[in-house]
Amino acid sequence: MGILEKHSKDNFFDARWDNFERTLDEGNIPLTAIPGYFLIRTRCEDCDEECTAIKYHGRRILIIPNLNVWINHQCPPPVEEVYPDDPNVRDAHGNLRGGGWTDVGDDQDRRQFDDPKYS
């Protein structure tokens, strides 16, 4: 047994909780239970949400505060881009139609709020 393997369980989290990951999943870790020097402000690489990271057994675990406890960060489900059914707003490809503040006869791909050509 090597020195790293011998002391792998000697960390702050394992010393205070029998099963840290299960306790975190259940949301039973108060905000004040983890000292500030273990918390790293970061952003989720998938959804770009602000999170707090902790290092546990060489892994980076993202957590967020929820009321008075820490919980695991969960990325929101992806949202499909839905185009309105009104044909006066978008064409079949989802591009904004001309009209409104643009000149009559402009391309359908032009943005609705572009400045007129001869302003």
Local structure of 119: helix, strand or coil: coil
Tokens of 117: 């050509």
pLDDT tens-digit series, residues 62-92? 999 999 999 999 988 877 766 555 666 666 6
106 vs 63: which has the higher pLDDT: 63
Q: Shortest CA distance to 65 belongs to which of 22, 101, 34?
A: 34
pLDDT for the residue 58: 83
Measure the CA–CA gap between 21 and 65, rounded to whole angstroms: 16
Domain boundaries, the chain: 3-72, 83-119
Mean pLDDT of the chain: 79
Q: What percent of the chain lies above the pLDDT cut of 70?
A: 62
pLDDT for the residue 64: 94
